[in-house]
Amino acid sequence: GAVVSQHPSWVICKSGTSVKIECRSLDFQATTMFWYRQFPKQSLMLMATSNEGSKATYEQGVEKDKFLINHASLTLSTLTVTSAHPEDSSFYICSARDRDEHRSQYFGPGTRLTVL
């Protein structure tokens, strides 16, 4: 089946630094990728929708200047958390939609971010 990878799987950083998370579709082409955030004991919340070659669409309340999304190719999207603060500590999960299977969304394994 379709596989989505994320890197890194976990990261610890100091407050004020920036962290980049990569999301890759390994065996399919993804025209659309989604970024989610999940706080402990809460459900996933969609942050933004990323379409290859165009600007990401952010959900209400998500700062686009803080969470930079780049979807440069059909297999790679990146999320950069700029000037991270402890409240940004969360589980970040990406999903990718297979270009040839319109209904599918395959999830990456997630990235655990801890900001000290």
Partner 1 sequence: GQNIDQPTEMTATEGAIVQINCTYQTSGFNGLFWYQQHAGEAPTFLSYNVLDGLEEKGRFSSFLSRSKGYSYLLLKELQMKDSASYLCVREGYGGSQGNLIFGKGTKLSVKP
The binding site for partner 1 (CB under 8 A) comprises 32, 34, 42-46, 49, 91, 93, 95, 97, 102-103, 105-110, 112
Residue 37 bridge partners (DSSP): 45, 92
Which two tokens mark 45?
């919340």
* Shortest spacing between CB 90 and partner 1, in angstroms: 12
Residues in contact with 95: Cβ distance below 8 Å, sequence separation at least 6, in sequence order: 4, 33, 34, 36, 105, 106, 107, 108
* Shortest spacing between CB 59 and partner 1, in angstroms: 9
C-beta of 16 vs 55, nearer to partner 1: 55
* Shortest spacing between CB 9 and partner 1, in angstroms: 11
C-beta of 18 vs 114, nearer to partner 1: 114
Rounded to whole angstroms, the Cα distance separating 64 from 8 reads 21
